[in-house]
Amino acid sequence: MSEYQYIHFAAVDKSLNDKQLAYMQDLSTRATEGTRTLAELREQASAESDQRKKRELAAEQRKLNKRLAKFREDPSAAISEAEKLIKERSTTSYQRAAKLLSELRDAIGGEKGERLANDAAKRIVKKHPTLHHVKRAFKDEGLNYK
Protein backbone atom coordinates (compact mmCIF):
# COMPACT_ATOMS: atom_id res chain seq x y z
CA MET A 1 0.00 0.00 0.00
CA SER A 2 1.10 3.55 -0.56
CA GLU A 3 1.51 5.84 2.39
CA TYR A 4 -1.84 7.53 1.60
CA GLN A 5 -3.90 4.36 1.72
CA TYR A 6 -5.19 3.10 5.01
CA ILE A 7 -7.85 0.83 6.41
CA HIS A 8 -10.37 2.12 8.91
CA PHE A 9 -11.58 -0.72 11.09
CA ALA A 10 -14.11 -0.33 13.87
CA ALA A 11 -15.10 -3.29 15.98
CA VAL A 12 -18.85 -3.43 16.46
CA ASP A 13 -19.21 -6.28 18.92
CA LYS A 14 -16.21 -5.70 21.17
CA SER A 15 -12.94 -3.84 21.38
CA LEU A 16 -9.95 -5.13 19.47
CA ASN A 17 -7.42 -7.14 21.37
CA ASP A 18 -3.71 -6.32 21.10
CA LYS A 19 -3.07 -8.96 18.44
CA GLN A 20 -5.91 -7.72 16.22
CA LEU A 21 -4.84 -4.10 16.67
CA ALA A 22 -1.24 -4.97 15.78
CA TYR A 23 -2.45 -6.75 12.64
CA MET A 24 -4.41 -3.69 11.57
CA GLN A 25 -1.50 -1.40 12.28
CA ASP A 26 0.72 -3.60 10.09
CA LEU A 27 -1.72 -2.99 7.20
CA SER A 28 -1.79 0.74 7.78
CA THR A 29 0.27 3.05 9.93
CA ARG A 30 -2.82 5.15 10.53
CA ALA A 31 -5.03 2.41 11.96
CA THR A 32 -6.26 3.22 15.44
CA GLU A 33 -9.06 1.90 17.54
CA GLY A 34 -12.14 4.09 17.20
CA THR A 35 -13.25 6.05 20.24
CA ARG A 36 -16.92 6.29 19.28
CA THR A 37 -19.41 3.48 19.38
CA LEU A 38 -21.74 2.59 16.56
CA ALA A 39 -24.67 3.99 18.54
CA GLU A 40 -22.88 7.33 18.93
CA LEU A 41 -22.16 7.47 15.21
CA ARG A 42 -25.79 6.72 14.39
CA GLU A 43 -26.97 9.37 16.83
CA GLN A 44 -24.64 11.95 15.28
CA ALA A 45 -25.79 11.05 11.77
CA SER A 46 -29.42 11.29 12.85
CA ALA A 47 -28.86 14.72 14.40
CA GLU A 48 -27.14 15.99 11.26
CA SER A 49 -29.97 14.61 9.12
CA ASP A 50 -32.54 16.37 11.31
CA GLN A 51 -30.67 19.65 11.00
CA ARG A 52 -30.53 19.31 7.21
CA LYS A 53 -34.27 18.62 7.07
CA LYS A 54 -34.97 21.69 9.22
CA ARG A 55 -32.85 23.85 6.91
CA GLU A 56 -34.67 22.48 3.85
CA LEU A 57 -38.07 23.12 5.44
CA ALA A 58 -37.05 26.66 6.37
CA ALA A 59 -35.88 27.32 2.80
CA GLU A 60 -39.15 25.90 1.44
CA GLN A 61 -41.14 28.13 3.81
CA ARG A 62 -39.18 31.21 2.67
CA LYS A 63 -39.95 30.38 -0.96
CA LEU A 64 -43.64 29.93 -0.14
CA ASN A 65 -43.77 33.25 1.72
CA LYS A 66 -42.14 34.96 -1.24
CA ARG A 67 -44.72 33.45 -3.64
CA LEU A 68 -47.60 34.44 -1.38
CA ALA A 69 -46.29 38.01 -1.20
CA LYS A 70 -46.25 38.11 -5.03
CA PHE A 71 -49.83 36.85 -5.11
CA ARG A 72 -50.94 39.55 -2.68
CA GLU A 73 -49.36 42.21 -4.89
CA ASP A 74 -50.83 40.93 -8.16
CA PRO A 75 -53.55 38.25 -7.89
CA SER A 76 -54.34 38.45 -11.61
CA ALA A 77 -50.86 37.12 -12.45
CA ALA A 78 -51.54 33.98 -10.41
CA ILE A 79 -54.92 33.51 -12.08
CA SER A 80 -53.49 33.89 -15.58
CA GLU A 81 -50.68 31.47 -14.69
CA ALA A 82 -53.30 28.93 -13.56
CA GLU A 83 -55.14 29.37 -16.86
CA LYS A 84 -51.91 28.78 -18.78
CA LEU A 85 -51.31 25.59 -16.81
CA ILE A 86 -54.81 24.33 -17.67
CA LYS A 87 -54.07 24.83 -21.37
CA GLU A 88 -51.14 22.41 -21.09
CA ARG A 89 -53.74 19.62 -20.67
CA SER A 90 -51.95 17.29 -18.30
CA THR A 91 -52.99 15.99 -14.91
CA THR A 92 -49.83 17.40 -13.33
CA SER A 93 -50.59 20.83 -14.77
CA TYR A 94 -54.15 20.66 -13.44
CA GLN A 95 -52.83 19.86 -9.98
CA ARG A 96 -50.30 22.69 -10.16
CA ALA A 97 -53.03 25.11 -11.25
CA ALA A 98 -55.27 24.02 -8.38
CA LYS A 99 -52.35 24.41 -5.94
CA LEU A 100 -51.67 27.87 -7.36
CA LEU A 101 -55.27 28.97 -6.81
CA SER A 102 -55.22 27.46 -3.33
CA GLU A 103 -52.07 29.44 -2.49
CA LEU A 104 -53.72 32.56 -3.92
CA ARG A 105 -56.68 31.98 -1.60
CA ASP A 106 -54.32 31.64 1.37
CA ALA A 107 -52.25 34.67 0.34
CA ILE A 108 -55.21 37.02 0.09
CA GLY A 109 -56.93 35.40 3.04
CA GLY A 110 -60.41 35.72 4.40
CA GLU A 111 -63.57 35.95 2.38
CA LYS A 112 -61.94 38.00 -0.37
CA GLY A 113 -59.28 35.35 -1.02
CA GLU A 114 -61.87 32.58 -0.96
CA ARG A 115 -64.10 34.43 -3.42
CA LEU A 116 -61.23 35.32 -5.77
CA ALA A 117 -59.88 31.74 -5.97
CA ASN A 118 -63.32 30.16 -6.30
CA ASP A 119 -64.36 32.62 -9.04
CA ALA A 120 -61.19 31.79 -10.99
CA ALA A 121 -61.90 28.06 -10.57
CA LYS A 122 -65.50 28.57 -11.77
CA ARG A 123 -64.33 30.47 -14.87
CA ILE A 124 -61.84 27.72 -15.73
CA VAL A 125 -64.41 24.93 -15.30
CA LYS A 126 -66.97 26.88 -17.32
CA LYS A 127 -64.41 27.33 -20.10
CA HIS A 128 -63.40 23.62 -19.98
CA PRO A 129 -66.48 21.69 -18.77
CA THR A 130 -65.27 18.26 -19.93
CA LEU A 131 -61.95 18.30 -18.07
CA HIS A 132 -62.90 16.15 -15.11
CA HIS A 133 -59.33 15.96 -13.83
CA VAL A 134 -59.39 19.75 -13.37
CA LYS A 135 -62.53 19.47 -11.29
CA ARG A 136 -60.94 16.72 -9.20
CA ALA A 137 -57.79 18.78 -8.63
CA PHE A 138 -59.88 21.79 -7.58
CA LYS A 139 -61.91 19.63 -5.21
CA ASP A 140 -58.75 18.15 -3.69
CA GLU A 141 -57.46 21.66 -2.95
CA GLY A 142 -60.77 22.72 -1.41
CA LEU A 143 -61.81 25.06 -4.20
CA ASN A 144 -65.50 25.50 -4.95
CA TYR A 145 -65.92 25.49 -8.73
CA LYS A 146 -69.70 24.95 -8.84
Q: What per-residue confidence (pLDDT) applies to 53? A: 94
Residue 53: half-sphere exposure toward Cβ, Cα within 13 Å: 6
pLDDT tens track for 78-131: 888 888 888 888 888 888 888 888 888 888 888 888 888 888 888 888 888 888
Q: Give the list of residues 6+ apart from residue 109 with CB closer than 8 angstroms, or none.
A: none
Above pLDDT 70, what percent of the chain? 86
Contact 86, 128 (CB under 8 A): yes
Q: What is the pLDDT of the chain when averaged over all its residues?
A: 81
Contact 75, 66 (CB under 8 A): no
Q: What per-residue confidence (pLDDT) applies to 1? A: 46
Residue 50: half-sphere exposure toward Cβ, Cα within 13 Å: 6
Q: What per-residue confidence (pLDDT) applies to 32? A: 60
The residue with greater pLDDT, 38 or 48, is 48
pLDDT band at 40 (very low <50, low <70, confident <90, very high): confident
pLDDT tens track for 26-37: 776 665 666 778
pLDDT band at 21 (very low <50, low <70, confident <90, very high): confident
